[in-house]
Amino acid sequence: MAQRPSVSIPNLRSSPSKSSRGNPNSPDSSDSKVSKPFDRKPSIKSSSFSATEKRAVRVSEMQQQLNQLQEELKKMKEERSRVVKELTEAKKMVSSQNNTKEDLKLYKDRIEFLELEVQKAKESERKMLESMISQTKLLEQTKISLEEAKLEIRSLKETMNRAESLVNGGSHVETNGSSDLIRAKEEIMVLRNELKLAMGAEEKSKKAMDDLAIALKEVTTEANQVKERLLIAESELDNVRVEAQRSKNQLKSMGENYQAALEESERLKFDLDEAITAWNAKEDGFIDCMKVSEGEMSKRG
């Protein structure tokens, strides 16, 4: 931070020489001695007000960024809750599945959707971490601004004390109505006003820094929670994949068993037809034999 221009006030205790008193046009006259130190540029008022306004703008920007961070945290919580809800519904669907092709199609669609949601959550986590880094840098800037305000306050106090000491020490020599003393007192009033503004800026910087520290703590906690929830979401997603694969294998096994049973049924039907044909042939042969036997018995009788 640049050093502020100090208030240079003449030592009114020093008296001019006799020759100077007698000659009003002398360059060493008391009026010229007293008035010169006040002809300084730039003005303290304009420079200090500019610095105070800059700090006020910086504090306002920090407050806006803090509000943006809080809004990002709110959105992150909503997105995380949505992902967890979808994973829970997917798990329930897997538990109540009916081992049909339609169910497997739903599992596949659900898995793709959950994978997309997890990617979105990861992207949100990345953005939140970037915001946390940005807020950390902003916190460091706020600390610097606070230190600058403290240095300026200390400088203003020293300058004001020095000015008051010089004015009070020389007031008994010059009349209270002299223009130089009036200007000196006005400078002291300006310094007091600047000191008040600087202390107000310091208080705002402290509050902004405290708010940022709290926000950063919340962001850090939230980031850890999001990371943990994402790990859980990925684990749940893996479970959904395993359950879907198991259902697919079961359906495939059932299809194979059904095909085997169908083939076995066809074979048994074929065997039954052959057995019936053979039995009918034997039955016809037996009937023919009985007819022959009956014919022979009739002839004998």
Per-residue pLDDT tens digits for 220-229:
777 777 777 7
Q: Say if residues 79 and 120 touch (Cβ distance below 8 Å).
A: yes
Res 77: pLDDT: 65
- Among 13-27, 176-190, 272-286, the range scoring the smallest mean pLDDT is 13-27
Is the entire prediction scored with pTM above 0.85? no
Before 24, cis peptide (omega within 30)? no
Q: How many CA atoms lie within 13 A of 99 on its CB side?
A: 9
Question: Letter for the amino acid at 147?
Answer: E
Q: Rounded to whole angstroms, how far apart are CA atoms 188 and 64? A: 36
Q: Considering only CA atoms, give the Rg of the chain.
A: 49
Classify 43-256 by CATH class: mainly alpha
- Name the packing angle between helices 44-95 and 101-170 (round to 10°): 160
Whether 50 has a pLDDT exceeding 70, the answer reads no
| H/E segment holding residue 117 | helix 101-170
Q: Rounded to whole angstroms, how far apart are CA atoms 16 and 33? A: 9
Domain spans of the chain, in order of start? 43-256
Res 275: pLDDT: 81
What would the pLDDT profile of 89-128 be if each residue is shown by its tens digit? 666 655 555 545 666 677 677 777 777 777 777 777 777 7
Asked whether the CA dihedral 240, 242, 243, 247 is positive or negative, the reply is positive
| H/E segment holding residue 256 | helix 179-300
The neighbour count for residue 145, using CB atoms within 10 Å, is: 22
pLDDT > 90: percent of the chain: 0
- Virtual CA dihedral for 139, 144, 147, 153, nearest 10 degrees? -110
